[in-house]
Amino acid sequence: MERLPGFRDFYPEPLPSADAWSCDARQYIFDKWRTIAKRYAFREYDGPPLEPLELYTLKSGEEIVGQLYNFADKGERQVAMRPEMTPTLARMVSATERQYKKPIKWFAVPQLFRYERQQKGRLREHFQFNCDIFGEADVSADAELIALLIDSLRAFGLTENDFVIRLSSRNAWQDFYKQRITGEQPDAAQREYQFFQIIDKLEREKPEESEKKLAALGFSLKEVNDFIQSGAPTTELDSILKNLAARGLTEFVKIDYQVIRGLAYYTGVVFEAFDKKGDFRAIAGGGRYNNLVKLISGGKADLPALGFGMGDVVLLELLKARGLLPKFDAQIDFFCMIEDETLRAETLRLIQELRVQGNIVEYSLTPAKSDKQFKRAMELNAIHTMKLERGPTGALVGRLKNLKTREEKTIQSPEGLSGLN
Amino acid sequence: MERLPGFRDFYPEPLPSADAWSCDARQYIFDKWRTIAKRYAFREYDGPPLEPLELYTLKSGEEIVGQLYNFADKGERQVAMRPEMTPTLARMVSATERQYKKPIKWFAVPQLFRYERQQKGRLREHFQFNCDIFGEADVSADAELIALLIDSLRAFGLTENDFVIRLSSRNAWQDFYKQRITGEQPDAAQREYQFFQIIDKLEREKPEESEKKLAALGFSLKEVNDFIQSGAPTTELDSILKNLAARGLTEFVKIDYQVIRGLAYYTGVVFEAFDKKGDFRAIAGGGRYNNLVKLISGGKADLPALGFGMGDVVLLELLKARGLLPKFDAQIDFFCMIEDETLRAETLRLIQELRVQGNIVEYSLTPAKSDKQFKRAMELNAIHTMKLERGPTGALVGRLKNLKTREEKTIQSPEGLSGLN
C-alpha cells in the first residue's frame, strides 16, 4: 500500500533511500526554529489542522477553494485542511486578545496543506515556521520581526553570503500609484490590486507582457523600473534599516521594491528572504497585515499585526546545498555489552541507572557474540562501551571504553557504576 | 468565527480562560516523551496525517469507517485522517525494513483523528506518543518496551503510588480457551474473537450480562473469574517480570488478566497503564502484533512487532489532578530597560548580543516609562533587568539587577557588556 501523492514519510537516519525524507533533519530544523523564537520572547501556540472553509474564503475570496484540501465532513460542514496559519491565528487572537498584554509575540510550527489538481509530483503538505506580532503599529515591531527572521536563518550556519532579506513596502507602492492616478475611478480598488499583481510578477514575466498590462492601467514599464532602481527608502523603511543597523544586521537586508507579496491582505512593510545565489524559491516571506484581525473577528477586535512564514522544504534544500546539515545518528552515550549472560540482570540494572541519569543507552536485547555487539556499538557511533565482569573476589567490576579516545577505565564498586556519566 | 467542534486551540500561558488548552503544557509533555524515548535509543519517525482509507479498513474491517474522519478527495480517492499510527508505521517499516538493522526501535508523536457523529462535546483529535519495536520475537523486547512506558510516566514525577502497568497475555487467554473448547467448530475464529470481546468488557458490564454471553460460548463466569484471580504468570509473563525486576521496576507492574485489549490484532503480551486511584481512563496501552506487517505489506514483509500508545489528554488530566505540572512562563533571562531613549540603538546592540549568546531577552518596542517597563519585567518573571547608562566620562555602563536575589552589578566596559551571562 502506498501513501497518498504529495505527502511525505519521515524516516530516521541513516535513510533507507536517497529520496527519503529525514525525520532527524526535520526535528533539527524545528528545534532551531523554536530555540530562536524563544530567545526573542515569542511564545508557542497551535490551532486545529482542520478549519471551517469560510475562514479561508473570508480572507482570500472564493477563488482560494481551488487550491484547498477541502471537503464536506459527516456533519455536512464545509471544512478545509489549513493552507496557512494566519487565519487561525487571527481567529485565536481576536477571541482572546483582551486577556494578553500587548504586544502579543507568538510563533507556531504547523503542517499546512494544499491541493492543486494539475501539479503532479508537487508536495501537498509542508511545515512552516510562523512568527507574528499583534498590537504594535510602530515599525520597531517590523524590525524586531525581521531580526528574528535573520537570526532564525543564521542559527543554521547561514551567513550574509548565503541569504538576504529583500525589504519593500506596500505603502511606497501605494504612494507611487496615487501620485500618478488622480481623480475618481469607478473600479479604483480593483485596478490598484491589478497593479500590485503586475509588480509581483515583474521578475517572472516577459517585459513586453508587463509593459502591456501596465499601459492598460496608465503606467509605463520604465517609470516602474526607475522607481525600483532608485531604491530610496521611505521614512518607515529607513527607520527599520537604522534599527537593524543598531543590531549589527545591516549586511543581511536590502531595499528591493520588486518584492510586493502576491497576497492581497498586506498593508505596509513586506519582505522576503532569498538565497544569494538565486538557486531557490523564496525561503521566507512576510509583512504587515493590519486589517485582518478586524476582518476575521467581524469587527469585534482590531489590532495591528505583522508576521512571516518560513517553509521546511526550501530551507532543507538550501542547507543541503550549502553542506550545513550535521550528521544525524542515534547519539548513543553507552552501548552496554553483555558477554557473560549470567550478568544480564545486573547489566539491565546498570542500563536503567544510566538512563535515569539522562544517558542514551543501547544494548543487545538477546544473547549475541561479543564481536557482533561491539560492531553494533561502532555502527551506532556510540561514545562508550560498557560491560560488567566478575572480579577475582566475585565483586562486579565495570569496564568502560571511550570509543572516541580509546581510553579504558575499570570501575570497581557498584557505587562507582551508578556514578558514571 | 468558531473552530470546528472537537478540535483544540493551544494558547501560551498565562491562559486566557480556565478551559483553554495550554500549548506550553503540550510542548512540556512532548519534550518529556521525546527525551525518554531517545534514552531508550528509540528514533523518531512520522507519516502523513492523511492516508488511503483502505489502510484502515484492511486492518480493522469496514466497521471502522463509522469512526473515521474520512472523505473523497478532489481526485476521487477515498482518504481518512489517521485515527492511529500503527498502520502508517507498518506501511513504512514494511517498505524499508531491509535497509534497517533489527530490532527497529522507533517512536512518533502524531496527532490522531476520529469522527463519531453521536458523541457531541468529545474531542475529535488528540496527540499520541507511539513507541514500537520490530524484528524481535523475544519477550526481552516486551520488557524493554514496558520499561520505556514506565520511565515515560516517571519522567513527569508520577510514582508507583500513582500508576501501575496491568500486564496480561492473549496467549494465556488463548490457552485457557483452547483447553476448554475442544473439537472442530465451524465458526471457531469468530467465537474466539467474541470470547475476547466479552473478557475485554468484563469490568464495565453487569456480571449477569457477561455470564449470559459466556454461557453461549460454553463458559461460566466463575471459571473466568477464577482464572483472573489466580493471576499465575505464564512463562513469558514471568520472564518479563524478572526482566523488569532486574531494572528495579517491580513496583510498577502487576499481572492482571482482565486486560485483553479490544483491538483484534494483538497476538501476545498486552498491557495497559492505569492511575492507581482509578479516576481516569487508561493512560496508555499496547502489546504484540506479530501479524500486522505481513497483512499491511500483502505478504512482502513479515516481522514480529509490538508497541504502545499514550494519549496527551488523559495524561494531562492526571498530571493536573496530581499537581505535577510546572509553572509555565516566558522564562525571560534579561528584560532590557530603556530609560534614556538616546541609548536605544546601543541597547538594541546589547539585546542582539545577549540573544546570540543564547539568552531569552525581552524589552519595550516603543518608549515607555521606567516603572512601566519594570512592572512588565516583574510580570514576565524575568531573572534580570539590564539597562545602559552614560557614566560621568561619557562611557557606557550597564546596570544589571537580579530580580530573584536583588543583587545589583555595574558593568563598566563594552567588553564586559558582551561577556554577560
Whole-number Å distance between alpha carbons of A185 and A188: 5
pLDDT at res. B13: 96
Length of chain A: 421
Q: Which of A146, A137, A148, A133 shows the shortest CA–CA distance to A39?
A: A148
Alpha helical stretches, state H, A155-286: 170-180, 188-201, 207-216, 221-230, 235-246
Q: Which of A258, A294, A262, A289 shows the shortest CA–CA distance to A85?
A: A289
Length of chain B: 421
Domain boundary among B257, B292, B321: B321
Whole-number Å distance between alpha carbons of A241 and B178: 80
Residue B368 falls within a domain, yes or no? yes
pLDDT at res. B415: 60
Q: State the angle between helix axes of A235-246 and B344-356 in degrees (0 to 180), rounded to the nearest 10.
A: 50
Which of A3, A85, A375 is most worth mutating to test chain B (most B CB atoms within 10 A of its CB)? A3
Q: Are residues B363 and B300 in the same domain?
A: no
- Closest Cα of chain A to B47: distance in Å? 4
* pLDDT tens-digit series, residues B384-402: 999 999 988 888 899 999 9
Which of A116, A148, A355, A388 is most worth mutating to test chain B (most B CB atoms within 10 A of its CB)? A355
Give chain B positions within 8 Å (CB) of A245: 345
- Residue A208 contacts B where some CB pair is shorter than 8 Å: no
Alpha helical stretches, state H, B41-187: 54-60, 86-96, 139-154, 170-180
In this complex, which of B11, B49, B348 lies closest to A45 when CB atoms are compared? B11
pLDDT > 90? residue B377: yes
Question: Which three cell numbers mark B98?
Answer: 531491509
Whole-number Å distance between alpha carbons of B390 and A41: 27
A316 burial type by CB count under 10 A (0-12 exposed, 13-18 middle, 19+ buried): buried
Q: Are residues A252 and A230 in the same domain?
A: yes
Whole-number Å distance between alpha carbons of A131 and A308: 6
Residue B406 falls within a domain, yes or no? yes
Q: Are residues B78 and B199 in the same domain?
A: yes
Q: CB A92 to CB B151 under 8 A?
A: no
Q: Are residues A227 and A354 in the same domain?
A: no
pLDDT at res. A421: 36
Q: What is the arithmetic mean of pLDDT over B247-252? A: 98
Q: Considering the entire predicted model, what is its pTM? A: 0.96
Q: Which of B21, B68, B64 shows the shortest CA–CA distance to B49?
A: B68
In this complex, which of B2, B9, B39 lies closest to A355 when CB atoms are compared? B39
Distance of CA B184 to the CA centre of its chain: 43
Q: What is the DSSP string of B286-308?
A: EEE-TTHHHHHTTTS----EEEE
Tell me the Ramachandran region of residue B278: left when phi exceeds 0, alpha when psi lies from -120 to 50, beta otherwise. Answer: left
Q: Are residues B352 and B387 in the same domain?
A: yes
Q: Are residues A214 and A72 in the same domain?
A: yes
- Residue B151 contacts A where some CB pair is shorter than 8 Å: yes
The answer to whether the Cα torsion of A278, A284, A287, A289 is positive or negative is: positive
DSSP B2: P
Q: Are residues B201 and B257 in the same domain?
A: yes
Mean pLDDT for all residues in chain B: 93
What residue of B is the nearest CA neighbor of A353?
A: B247
Beta strand pairing status for B334-337 and A408-411?
unpaired
Please name the residues in contact with B17: beta carbons below 8 A apart, sequence gap of 6 or more.
Answer: A96, A99
The answer to whether the Cα torsion of A104, B111, A113, A57 is positive or negative is: negative
Q: Which of B361, B408, B406, B372 shows the shortest CA–CA distance to B389?
A: B408
Residue B217 near residue B173, CB atoms below 8 Å? no
Give the SS3 label for residue B198.
helix
pLDDT at res. A118: 64
- Residue B125 contacts A where some CB pair is shorter than 8 Å: yes
Whole-number Å distance between alpha carbons of B220 and B411: 82
Residue A78 near residue A53, CB atoms below 8 Å? yes
Q: CB B9 to CB A72 under 8 A?
A: no
Q: CB B75 to CB A117 under 8 A?
A: yes
Interface of B with A in 288-307 (CB under 8 A): 296-298
CB pairs under 8 A between A and B: 240
- Residue B261 contacts A where some CB pair is shorter than 8 Å: no
Residue B329 falls within a domain, yes or no? no
Whole-number Å distance between alpha carbons of A420 and B125: 42
Q: Are residues A356 and A275 in the same domain?
A: no
A157 burial type by CB count under 10 A (0-12 exposed, 13-18 middle, 19+ buried): middle
Residue B3 falls within a domain, yes or no? no
Residue B224: how many CB atoms within 10 A of its CB? 21
* pLDDT tens-digit series, residues B151-175: 999 999 999 999 999 999 999 998 8
Domain boundary among A288, A321, A354: A321
What residue of A is the nearest CA neighbor of B359?
A: A39
pLDDT at res. A187: 85
Residue A95 falls within a domain, yes or no? yes
Whole-number Å distance between alpha carbons of A242 and A122: 40
* pLDDT tens-digit series, residues B174-232: 889 988 887 777 788 888 888 988 998 998 899 999 999 999 999 999 999 999 999 89
HSE at residue B42, side-chain half, CA atoms within 13 A, is: 30
Give the helix/strand (H/E) hosting A54: helix A54-60
Give chain A positions within 8 Å (CB) of B147: 352
> In this structure, what CATH number is given to the domain that contains residue A390?
3.40.50.800
Residue B39 near residue B151, CB atoms below 8 Å? yes
What residue of B is the nearest CA neighbor of A58?
A: B1
Distance of CA B347 to the CA centre of its chain: 42
* pLDDT tens-digit series, residues B304-338: 999 999 999 999 999 999 999 999 988 999 999 99
* pLDDT tens-digit series, residues B34-57: 999 999 999 999 999 999 999 999
Give the SS3 label for residue A106.
strand
- Residue A52 contacts B where some CB pair is shorter than 8 Å: yes
Give chain A positions within 8 Å (CB) of B75: 117
Q: What is the largest CA-CA distance in chain A?
A: 102
Whole-number Å distance between alpha carbons of B378 and A251: 35
pLDDT > 50? residue B359: yes
Q: Are residues B369 and B269 in the same domain?
A: no
Residue A22 falls within a domain, yes or no? yes
Beta strand pairing status for B69-72 and B125-134?
unpaired
pLDDT band at B421 (very low <50, low <70, confident <90, very high): very low
Q: Are residues A399 and A270 in the same domain?
A: no
**What is the residue range of A58's domain?**
10-321
Residue A253 near residue A165, CB atoms below 8 Å? yes
Domain boundary among B267, B296, B321: B321
Alpha helical stretches, state H, B121-187: 139-154, 170-180
Q: Which of B58, B53, B155 shows the shortest CA–CA distance to B113?
A: B53
> In this structure, what CATH number is given to the domain that contains residue B149?
3.30.930.10
pLDDT at res. A180: 86
In this complex, which of A51, A345, A379 lies closest to B3 when CB atoms are compared? A51
Whole-number Å distance between alpha carbons of A12 and B421: 36
Residue B102: how many CB atoms within 10 A of its CB? 13
Question: Which three cell numbers mark B161?
Answer: 503510588
Give chain B positions within 8 Å (CB) of A58: 1
pLDDT > 70? residue B413: no
Give the helix/strand (H/E) hosting A81: strand A78-81
pLDDT at res. A58: 86
Residue B5 falls within a domain, yes or no? no
Q: Are residues B280 and B192 in the same domain?
A: yes
Q: What is the largest CA-CA distance in chain B?
A: 103
Question: Which three cell numbers mark B87?
Answer: 498502520
Q: Are residues B290 and B343 in the same domain?
A: no
pLDDT at res. A418: 52
For cell 552496554, what's the residue?
A336
pLDDT at res. A394: 83
Q: CB B246 to CB A81 under 8 A?
A: no
Q: Which of A27, A21, A25, A18 shows the shortest CA–CA distance to A7?
A: A21
How many domains does the structure of chain B reveal?
2
* pLDDT tens-digit series, residues B70-124: 999 988 999 999 999 999 999 999 999 999 999 999 999 999 999 977 666 789 9
* Cα B237–Cα B243–Cα B247 angle in degrees, nearest 5: 140
Whole-number Å distance between alpha carbons of A128 and A133: 16
DSSP A326: P
The answer to whether the Cα torsion of B3, B7, B10, B11 is positive or negative is: positive
In this complex, which of A11, A99, A331 lies closest to B96 when CB atoms are compared? A11
Q: pLDDT 10s per residue in chain A (421 long)?
A: 789 999 999 999 999 999 999 999 999 999 999 999 999 999 999 999 999 999 999 888 888 899 999 999 988 999 999 999 999 999 999 999 999 999 999 999 999 999 977 666 789 999 999 999 999 999 999 999 999 999 999 999 999 999 999 999 999 998 899 888 877 777 888 888 889 889 989 988 999 999 999 999 999 999 999 999 998 999 999 999 999 999 999 999 999 999 988 776 899 999 999 999 999 999 999 999 999 999 999 999 999 999 999 999 999 999 999 999 999 988 899 999 999 999 999 999 999 999 999 999 999 999 999 999 999 999 999 999 999 999 888 888 999 999 999 999 998 865 656 544 3
Residue A1 falls within a domain, yes or no? no
Q: CB A3 to CB B365 under 8 A?
A: no
Residue A360: how many CB atoms within 10 A of its CB? 22
Whole-number Å distance between alpha carbons of B340 and B409: 19
HSE at residue A2, side-chain half, CA atoms within 13 A, is: 5
Alpha helical stretches, state H, B205-263: 207-216, 221-230, 235-246
pLDDT at res. A415: 60
Whole-number Å distance between alpha carbons of B182 and B195: 15
pLDDT at res. B108: 98
pLDDT > 80? residue B403: yes
pLDDT at res. A103: 97
